Structure 1
Amino acid sequence: MTAAPNTVLTWQVEETGGFETAWVELNGAGLRAHGRAMGLRPEPYWLSYELETGDAFVTRALHVTSHTADATYVLDLRRDDGGHWTANGHTVPGLDGALDCDLGMSPLTNTMPVLRHQLHRTEGHQDFLMAFVPVPTLAVRPNLQAYTHLTPLLSGARVGYASGSYRSELDFDADGLVVHYEGLATRLNRTDRARS
């Protein structure tokens, strides 16, 4: 893994008519990030988030604040060492066994399951139960997803994604970060270090 601390990534998010920028720190077995996003669909919104994982890129905490014209939503999503998930202090049913959060419309949170199973480097297929966070309402719910290594690329790999009847393909770079998410988002920059 070659991504340096304070990597800054920006995606054009075609599905929402908006953009996302994330400041990402990757180490051998964990990820920390904070980001900002804005979109016009399903309604105009902007949001900020902070994400922290533990070993094997398992989610520890996701804090999100989302603003629309009519409301502000706040989510403090946490997974403890026993695998118990809470949202704003309340148990989220149906998430036993889930290791990852998935922030809707964000290509960043596709990184954790892919890195854990090295699907950007080797063949394989994995099914996941995810703590899905829809945007802009942030009402957490369980979601079944599948990732399949399809083909190696010059740097990284193409990975198939499925959830229910939805299908897509994602291109990941050598660090396991999304370059292109078919139908959703396209990264606008290479992996660059933030300047202090």
Structure 2
Amino acid sequence: MDEQGRHLVWQVTETAGFEAAWLNLDGMILSATGRTVGQLPEPYWLTYTLQTDDRAATTRLQVTATTANAQYELDLRRDGGTWNVDGQPRADLAGALDCDLACSPVTNTMPIIRHGLQHGPGEHRFLMAFVQVPTLRVVASQQSYTHLGLTQDAARVRYASGTFVSDLTVDRDGLVIDYPTMAHRIPAGTTVTAEQRIGGPGSPRPSSSS
């Protein structure tokens, strides 16, 4: 991945909203800064920063969420096998390596790249520190990821949690392209030339002849 990182945008259908994030991936070290806006389960704004170690395991997730009537803050940290939520130890999260921010396609990446599921076969089960949105309540969540197959430029990976199952499409970096029922990445627009822009919004108006 480019050293300057990638800027990715998703339409998040589950929240009737959007997410935009700057991501840097150096080997399996992932850092991300993102913003989301949603209308479900209630209108909210959210900002976050995420950092992992060299195994793509979460070291810190900081989140601020704002609704019409409240603001929530979360500082989630993992040091070795110990998780802390706003400075308080959480023994129920012991054994988890990843956070999972609800309705954010970014946090699906870590378990996928740790086990190379964007490249080849594998099936793995995980305990996650799942962050509910917009309240930012953290709960333990059992999940699994299974490699299903490759296409020319992408891979299909099955996500499951409880009775919920969805077949994700991810790129060769393990970043979500399509998450049925939840989110779909919006492709960057093509470059518009000056000639194509003539007469369009923001362009000089043609001079009128007398």
Identify whether the pair has TM-score above 0.5, normalized to the shorter chain: yes
Q: 1:4 to 1:153 in 2, by over 3 A?
A: farther
Q: Structure 2 regions of 5+ residues with no counterpart?
A: 189-210
CA distance in 2, matches of 1:154, 1:43: 39
CA contact (8 A) 2:82 2:91 kept: no
Output aligned runs, 1:13-92, within 5 Å.
13-81=12-80, 83-92=81-90
CA shift for structure 1 position 29: 2.3
CA contact (8 A) 2:96 2:129 kept: yes
Q: Which piece of structure 1 moves more, 179-188 or 152-161?
A: 152-161
| Residue of structure 2 aligned with 1:135, choices 133, 136, 151 | 133
Higher relative contact order (CA 8 A, sep 6+): 1
Percent of aligned positions with the same letter in both sequences?
Answer: 52
Q: What root-mean-square deviation, in Å, do the aligned CA atoms of Structure 1 and Structure 2 show?
A: 1.0
Q: What secondary structure does 2:94 align onto?
A: coil
**Counterpart position of 1:124:** 122
**Counterpart position of 2:9:** 10
Q: 1:3 to 1:181 in 2, by over 3 A?
A: farther
The 4+ residue runs of structure 1 with deviation greater than 4 A are none
Q: What secondary structure does 2:129 align onto?
A: strand
TM-score, with structure 1 as normaliser: 0.94
TM-score, with structure 2 as normaliser: 0.87
**Counterpart position of 1:100:** 98
Q: Structure 1 regions of 5+ residues with no counterpart?
A: 191-196
Q: Which amino acid aligns with 2:161?
A: S
| Residue of structure 1 aligned with 2:107, choices 83, 106, 109 | 109
Specify the structure having the higher radius of gyration (Cα): 2
CA distance in 2, matches of 1:164, 1:183: 16
CA contact (8 A) 1:120 1:173 kept: yes
Q: Which amino acid aligns with 1:189?
A: P
Q: Which amino acid aligns with 2:70?
A: A
Q: What secondary structure does 1:55 align onto?
A: coil
Q: What secondary structure does 2:187 align onto?
A: coil
Q: What secondary structure does 1:20 align onto?
A: strand
**Deviations for 1:51-97, whole angstroms, at most 9, x for unmatched residues?**
0000110100000000001110000000002x100010011231111
CA distance in 2, matches of 1:77, 1:148: 27
CA shift for structure 1 position 156: 2.4
State the number of aligned residues.
Answer: 188
